[in-house]
Structure 1
Amino acid sequence: MNAMPALMREVDDAIARGTSTRRADHLRQVTDLFLRDAPALTDEQVDLFDVVIARLAAAIEARARVELAERLADAPNAPRGVIRSLAHDEIAVARPVLARSERLSDEDLVAVAIAKGREHMLAISARTTLSEPVTDVLVKRGDRRVVHAVAANPGARFSDGAIGDLIDRARIDTPLHDVLSERVDLPEEHVRQLVAIAQETARRRLAEDAPSEGAIVTEVIEIGASSVRAAVLPGGRDLAAAYAVVSRLAATRPITEGDVATYARDGKGEEAICAISFAADLTLSTAERLFKAGDSELLVVVARAQGWSFTTVEPLLALRDPEGACAPHVLKRSRDAFEQLRPQTAQRVVQFLKAREASQKRAAEAAAQRQIAARRR
């Protein structure tokens, strides 16, 4: 550091009277000196280098600034002012520091994302980690390439609003849907939304290919969705094999309360779900929902609406919760709720449930169509 005053005089002289080559050489010398002593430098000394390097960098060609950015990008205590300036430079200069420098704060990255274009945002998207404030801006302002890059970054963290925006885009962007589906950090609610989007996309495509086979298409999609849910969601069930068994029986005669009760008493949860779907005319996803935590009341409602007895409900409750549901006080509470519920009230609840499902399906389809139309304008 003793050579610093003399070197600063040379810098002033190089800026005032030197050629671009001489200025670049001096910048290289100053950068060498900084990187050599960087671990031992105080904050005050780093600030001094910040002033000197910034003065030289402002007076050199882009090629020399690219070299400077590459050399400083990985320095843990690189001069902040220089790094910020390089981050706002043309993309060849900015890329190394945007992608790698730890000296850029979230506020710095957000400022660049707002002020600059796609290439700068792509460079930011390549960082090892990205916080929610940064991804909020990238998702909001970025084009398709930027959004895909951010979504594919395993170190990116997203707010609920950003995830919602990504899922909305994924309704008409299958590759983005695939990228999001590979993330392991999405909340269960958002994973369910992705499964539902895949389900709707597959239904539309199959319906276009086989418009006269609507019922079969629905069955195929429901089964496929159950397999996806089983693979990506905790507690999910793959209903494909059970559905094949129950559907073969349904082809010979209607599925009855007795079938549901038999499957339940035998501990065949997947078959019981499929049997409820057939007997109560519910989608597989709705029938599966009856066995999720927090929905035991809904199972009681469906059974009451169908006119089933509590002797059928009891093994179904045991399937939901093998330990807790069989406790005497739990069974008594469930029986009391079952007996106090009027069948007409239960039937209205089930009809409302079916109507809500149909409405949600129509709303999802309408939203997808609006997005398609908006992108085409």
Structure 2
Amino acid sequence: MAVGPSLIPGLDDIVKNGDPRRRAEAARKISELFLAGAAQFRSQHVDLFDGILTGLVPYTEIAARVALAERLSALGNAPPALVNQLAREDEISVAGPLLRRSPAVVEPTLIEVARRKGQGHLLAMSERPTLPVGVTDVIVRRGDREVVRRVAGNAGAQFSQTGYSALIKRACDDGVLTLTVGRRDDLGAPQLKELLAGSAEIVRRRLFEAAKPGKKAAINQAMVEIIGAPKASEIRRDFAPAQRAILSLHHAGELDEAALLNFAKAHKYEECVAALSALSAARIATIDRLLMGERHDPVLILGRATGLEWATVRALIVLRLGPGRVPSATDIERARLNFERLAASTAQRVLSFWQTRQTA
């Protein structure tokens, strides 16, 4: 199959000595010829096109390379050297389609790109139908939050023990990543236990609620191994000392938002509950139940109804998660927006309802 001479006279001279314009025109014509007949070409024909195009395509404009990469990404018999050459480009609009789905991009190329390129390249790779452990190890180590969440949610991605350990470590301060990793079918029991041990109680509950029946049993078993079977002494809190401390502050005229904020920052849960009880005229048991619920909404309502500032409400949200843990940036921003939109009159009506219920 004499592709070169029959298509463009003097092709060898153009490849070796031609100016960029002539090379770009030759690349366009030969690319169109390949794409038109790709389905019928044998491997030796693909190799011939490959050898020619790898020397010509770099001289084409970005728009032409983008269009070519998009079309090549869908071909199972795309010229391999050309595809891997384009996949290494800095321009993500060229490399992206090939990194995202081309079967012709080989693992060494993926690893090289993962080590050297930016987050756009990593994000594109994280969407591939399958990803070997050699690639995911690099992605988890170098990727930003969006990249790591995306690759963790890719059912076709495989992770080594090192990769899973890195994922779990990053999940400690990322509730969304915890939920994503926890839902993976290939997550082993030891890894699930490690994931749950580093997560907040509210994230554990969300993971349990979303889990399949088999995974729920595994979560329960992991939690028993982490904290043991629940005991009455562990789930009942003694609020009496905190009540006395809050009463003393009240008598001294020092029970205000600043005191509540200090308690929250110090993770003094009982004192926060007792202070909120005094400020809202709701019972301690009611406040305790609201703070330990599934959602942040009761905290927002209590804060707005009692006239608290966002900084104090945020500290109370963090208090719910326990020492050393913080909500994700997405969660806290959503809570802030909901707090700003919440009318004081609405919050006070809800608080009145809670007070009425506790009396009943």
Would you say same fold, with TM above 0.5?
yes
Counterpart-to-counterpart distance in 2, 1:117 and 1:168: 22
In the TM superposition, residue 116 of structure 1 has moved relative to its aligned partner by 1.0
Counterpart-to-counterpart distance in 2, 1:161 and 1:35: 41
Aligned pairs (5 A) from 1:346-357: none
In the TM superposition, residue 128 of structure 1 has moved relative to its aligned partner by 0.8
Structure 1 residues 177 and 234, CA gap change in structure 2 (3 angstroms):
closer
In the TM superposition, residue 46 of structure 1 has moved relative to its aligned partner by 1.8
Structure 1 residues 97 and 7, CA gap change in structure 2 (3 angstroms):
same
Aligned pairs (5 A) from 1:136-147: 136-147=137-148
Q: Is the 8 A contact 2:131 2:156 kept in 1?
A: yes
RMSD of equivalent CA atoms: 3.6
Structure 1 residues 237 and 97, CA gap change in structure 2 (3 angstroms):
closer
- Aligned partner of 2:254 in structure 1 is none
Q: Quick one: higher RCO (CA 8 Å, sep 6+), 1 or 2?
A: 2
Deviations 1:308-362 (A, max 9, x none): xxxxxxxxxxxxxxxxxxxxxxxxxxxxxxxxxxxxxxxxxxxxxxxxxxxxxxx
In the TM superposition, residue 170 of structure 1 has moved relative to its aligned partner by 0.6
Q: Gaps spanning 5+ residues in structure 1: where? A: 206-220, 240-269, 271-275, 284-364, 370-377
Q: Is the 8 A contact 1:152 1:179 kept in 2?
A: yes
Structure 1 residues 123 and 367, CA gap change in structure 2 (3 angstroms):
same
Aligned pairs (5 A) from 1:106-185: 106-185=107-186
Q: Secondary structure at the match of 2:147?
A: helix
Q: Which has the greater radius of gyration? A: 1
In the TM superposition, residue 70 of structure 1 has moved relative to its aligned partner by 1.0
Deviations 1:110-159 (A, max 9, x none): 01111211111111111111111110111112222221111111111111
Match status 1:52 vs 2:52:
yes
Q: Secondary structure at the match of 2:9?
A: helix
Aligned residues: 232
Counterpart-to-counterpart distance in 2, 1:88 and 1:166: 26
Counterpart-to-counterpart distance in 2, 1:164 and 1:146: 16
Counterpart-to-counterpart distance in 2, 1:94 and 1:225: 36
- Aligned partner of 1:202 in structure 2 is 201
Counterpart-to-counterpart distance in 1, 2:94 and 2:209: 48
Match status 1:193 vs 2:175:
no
Q: Is the 8 A contact 2:88 2:109 kept in 1?
A: no
Q: Is the 8 A contact 1:229 1:238 kept in 2?
A: no
In the TM superposition, residue 36 of structure 1 has moved relative to its aligned partner by 3.1
Counterpart-to-counterpart distance in 2, 1:154 and 1:125: 11
Q: Is the 8 A contact 1:191 1:232 kept in 2?
A: no
**Corresponding letter in the other structure for 1:233:** K
- Aligned partner of 1:301 in structure 2 is none
Q: Gaps spanning 5+ residues in structure 2: where? A: 236-321, 327-360
In the TM superposition, residue 231 of structure 1 has moved relative to its aligned partner by 4.5
- Aligned partner of 1:326 in structure 2 is none
Match status 1:233 vs 2:215:
yes
- Aligned partner of 1:83 in structure 2 is 83
Counterpart-to-counterpart distance in 1, 2:113 and 2:209: 43
Counterpart-to-counterpart distance in 2, 1:126 and 1:62: 23
In the TM superposition, residue 59 of structure 1 has moved relative to its aligned partner by 1.3
Aligned pairs (5 A) from 1:1-377: 1-9=1-9, 11=11, 20=21, 23-89=23-89, 90-198=91-199, 201-202=200-201, 231=213, 233=215, 235=217, 278=231
Structure 1 residues 368 and 52, CA gap change in structure 2 (3 angstroms):
same
Counterpart-to-counterpart distance in 1, 2:179 and 2:206: 16
In the TM superposition, residue 173 of structure 1 has moved relative to its aligned partner by 1.2
Counterpart-to-counterpart distance in 2, 1:188 and 1:140: 23
Counterpart-to-counterpart distance in 2, 1:230 and 1:74: 35
Structure 1 residues 93 and 278, CA gap change in structure 2 (3 angstroms):
closer
Greater displacement, 109-118 / 8-17: 8-17
Counterpart-to-counterpart distance in 2, 1:174 and 1:97: 31
| TM-score when normalising by structure 2 | 0.55
